[in-house]
């Protein structure tokens, strides 16, 4: 799925990285625990989270993850957006809950990540 398609499905606001909306994502991962993100996620994943701090950007950077959706109407501060722009990341914001946003993407064809052992 292209990020622009995810934006449309979620009725998202682009907070950073509008020039990268043609990127493709292969799966989504919904989580507020950055330790789980580190354990299970790699690039080409759309991360959905309610956390809006710098740790989210730093975690994404370590994984070469560059696509983040903030849920529940939360918006990161200017410093987070500045760093995301510097790292060429796409940040989007939605009013949906984490559950609802994940369900909308899944219903429209974006799958979940594969966890080893499943």
Here the CATH number for the domain that contains residue 22 is 3.40.1390.20
- Work out the percent of the chain whose per-residue pLDDT is above 70: 98
Q: CA-CA distances (angstroms) from residue 96 to 66, 81, 105?
A: 21, 20, 12
Asked if residue 11 belongs to a domain, the reply is: yes
Asked if residue 115 belongs to a domain, the reply is: no
Return the pLDDT at 117. Answer: 62
Tell me: pLDDT of 118 over 70: no
Tell me: pLDDT of 54 over 90: yes
Number of domains the chain contains: 1
Asked if residue 65 belongs to a domain, the reply is: yes
Neighbours of 76 (CB within 10 A): 22
Which range of residues forms the domain containing residue 106?
Answer: 3-110
Read off the pLDDT of residues 33-53 as tens digits, 9 standing for 90 and up.
998 888 888 778 999 999 999
Asked if residue 118 belongs to a domain, the reply is: no
**Mean pLDDT score of the chain, rounded to an integer?**
94
Q: Which helix (H) or strand (E) holds 39?
A: helix 34-40
Asked if residue 116 belongs to a domain, the reply is: no
Tell me: pLDDT of 10 over 70: yes
Asked if residue 7 belongs to a domain, the reply is: yes
Q: CA-CA distances (angstroms) from residue 68 to 5, 21, 90, 96, 117?
A: 14, 12, 6, 14, 26
Asked if residue 62 belongs to a domain, the reply is: yes
Asked if residue 56 belongs to a domain, the reply is: yes
Write down the residue that tokens 């991962």 correspond to. Answer: 29
């Amino acid at each position: 799925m292209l990020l622009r398609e995810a934006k449309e499905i979620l009725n998202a606001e682009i907070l950073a990285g509008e020039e990268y909306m043609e990127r493709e994502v292969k799966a989504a991962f919904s989580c507020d625990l950055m330790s789980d993100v580190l354990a299970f996620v790699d690039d080409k994943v759309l991360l959905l989270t309610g956390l809006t701090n710098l740790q989210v950007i730093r975690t994404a950077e370590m994984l070469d993850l560059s696509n983040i959706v903030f849920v529940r109407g939360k918006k990161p501060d200017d410093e987070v957006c500045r760093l995301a722009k510097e790292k060429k990341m796409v940040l989007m914001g939605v009013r949906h809950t984490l559950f609802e946003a994940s369900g909308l993407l899944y219903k429209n064809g974006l799958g979940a990540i594969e966890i080893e052992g499943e």
